[in-house]
């Protein structure tokens, strides 16, 4: 679409950056913090773990001072559930509460809007041991009680809340659910039950949120992507639409429409993956929809139709986190029109705009970009600078597409770079860096943990100062 009016970013646009607790805080067992499923993950001998991470727990004042220098309007962070409730519920850890109180107050001192993620992968290990965690309905009450404590404790200062980060990733990664089931089919079915329970927990949480914090806003943070057909063959186009449904749209249909779409429910039935649904669940989901949608966007996918055969019976999957193919639906292929990152992720700025258009068309809710960024092999030069022009180029192109979406009257309320500073990547340790600020450590060498501003830091500072007018 050729646009005529060139709108600017709104004056109150939330120029931000993001992190998550377990990837930056470190202090994994300091000051009374309990164990999470992340702490229990088997250590990989080739990459760092999360015990120290970027040591944000001890260095948060220095980090927030850097955020202020950057000019951030918002900072998206997550609370470590077991830093508040070491056992997942019951006894409150005052030191944990004090840390987040101090963190929020320090942000507000510099005029930075806190965006609080209630739960970002690090589920309490005690609750997994007690009743299986998210696969049990007992998890719903414990999550709601935890969330309500946060509302009552921090709600006088936090206006924007995110319920669950990338719920689809949680359900597809057994260790993040605490599932030790070796039978992959059984584990997969448990994952879909956990997903349903998380949706019900979200709805109950929103119901309480509206009573406790009626002037604030709340929504999920979802991983979202566009899926392109490999050709103009009708079967490839159908494969792309079906892939969008079973990988992305099903979840927001639950959150924003309150129900499973009939094609998706049939998909679950055919594979014996249907969750147990309680009588009041649909009513609860329908009556407690989010105020906005948080979107984590990095790349797009391209697929061709993948027919089911005797050799590949329906439901066969390939890959790990997000399957490379599912017989009877789709098979991912390389898109030769797009460049890739160091990790092979296809770089597609227009894909972000397409996602924003798709989401608003489907759900008609304001959108907050909660994550967008480039992971790369950054190099520290002369012990003082990182010339990450590749990151600047990536961010610039994506922000340009956000502006074009706003020009199409799509209500985008903010943009958070992933990430503010280097943090521990879930699969690649400190080898894969996303930050605007370099953290001086390597996987097994803490070095001095100095914070060093990258070239992208200074670029993003100018973007914020000019409210997105100076991108070059």
Q: Which residues are catalytic?
A: 166, 371
CB 60, CB 89: distance < 8 Å: no
How far is Cα 150 from Cα 159, in angstroms, rounded to an integer?
12
Instruction: Write out the two tokens for 84.
Output: 């508040």
The closest of 110, 41, 36 to 78, measured between CA atoms, is 36
Q: Long-range contacts made by residues 336-339, C-beta under 8 angstroms, separation at least 24?
A: 338/300
The closest of 94, 124, 122, 74 to 32, measured between CA atoms, is 94
Q: How many CB atoms lie within 10 A of CB 245?
A: 17
| H or E segment and range at residue 18 | strand 14-18
How far is Cα 189 from Cα 184, in angstroms, rounded to an integer?
9
| H or E segment and range at residue 239 | helix 234-244
The pairing of beta strand 74-78 with beta strand 14-18: parallel
Phi, psi dihedrals of residue 269, rounded to the nearest 5°: -60, -45
The closest of 30, 5, 36, 90 to 409, measured between CA atoms, is 5
Burial of 279: CB neighbours in 10 Å, binned 0-12, 13-18, 19+: exposed
| Residue-wise burial string across 32-60, b where 16 or more C-beta atoms lie within 10 A, e elsewhere | ebbbbbbbeeeeeeebbbbebbbbbbebb
DSSP per residue over 130-148, as a string? HH-GGGSTHHHHHHHHHHH
Strands (E), 297-342: 301-304, 317-318, 325-326, 330-333
């Amino acid at each position: 679409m050729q646009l005529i009016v060139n709108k600017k970013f709104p004056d109150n646009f939330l120029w931000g950056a993001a992190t998550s607790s377990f990837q930056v805080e470190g202090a994994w067992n300091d000051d009374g913090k309990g164990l999470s499923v992340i702490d229990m993950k088997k250590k990989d001998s080739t990459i760092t773990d999360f015990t120290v991470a970027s040591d944000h727990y001890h260095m948060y004042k220095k980090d927030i001072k850097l955020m202020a220098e950057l000019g951030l309007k918002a900072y998206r962070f997550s609370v470590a559930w077991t830093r508040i409730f070491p056992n997942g519920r019951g006894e409150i850890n005052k030191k944990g509460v004090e840390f987040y109180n101090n963190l929020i107050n320090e942000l507000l001192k510099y005029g930075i809007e806190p965006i609080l993620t209630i739960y970002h992968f690090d589920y309490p290990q005690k609750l997994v041991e007690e009743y299986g965690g998210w696969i049990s309905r007992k998890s719903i009450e414990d999550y709601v009680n935890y969330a309500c404590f946060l509302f009552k404790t921090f709600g006088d200062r936090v206006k924007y809340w995110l319920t669950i980060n990338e719920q689809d990733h949680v359900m597809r990664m057994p260790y993040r659910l605490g599932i030790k089931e070796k039978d992959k089919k059984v584990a997969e079915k448990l994952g879909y039950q956990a997903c349903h329970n998380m949706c019900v927990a979200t709805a109950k949480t929103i119901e309480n949120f509206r009573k406790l914090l009626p002037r604030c806003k709340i929504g999920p943070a979802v991983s979202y992507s566009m899926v392109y057909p490999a050709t103009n063959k009708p079967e490839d186009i159908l494969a792309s639409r079906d892939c969008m449904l079973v990988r992305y749209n099903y979840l927001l249909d639950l959150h924003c429409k309150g129900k499973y779409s009939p094609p998706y429910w049939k998909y679950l039935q055919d594979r014996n993956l249907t969750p147990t649904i309680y009588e009041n669940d649909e009513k609860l989901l329908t009556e407690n929809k989010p105020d906005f949608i948080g979107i984590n966007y990095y790349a797009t996918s391209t697929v061709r139709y993948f027919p089911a055969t005797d050799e590949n019976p329906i439901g066969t999957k390939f890959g790990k986190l997000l399957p490379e193919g599912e017989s009877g639906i789709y098979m991912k292929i390389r898109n030769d029109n797009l460049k890739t990152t160091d990790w092979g992720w296809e770089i597609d700025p227009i894909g972000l705009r397409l996602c924003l258009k798709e989401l608003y068309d489907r759900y008609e809710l304001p959108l907050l970009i909660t994550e967008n960024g480039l992971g790369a092999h950054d190099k520290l030069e002369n012990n003082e600078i990182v010339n990450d022009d590749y990151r600047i180029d990536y961010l610039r192109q994506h922000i340009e597409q956000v502006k074009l979406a706003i020009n199409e009257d799509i209500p985008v309320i903010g943009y958070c770079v992933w990430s503010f500073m280097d943090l521990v990547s879930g699969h690649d340790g400190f080898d894969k860096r996303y930050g605007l600020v370099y953290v001086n450590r390597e996987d097994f060498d803490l070095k001095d943990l100095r914070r060093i501003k990258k070239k992208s830091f200074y670029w993003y500072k100018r973007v914020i100062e000019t409210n997105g007018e100076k991108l070059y």
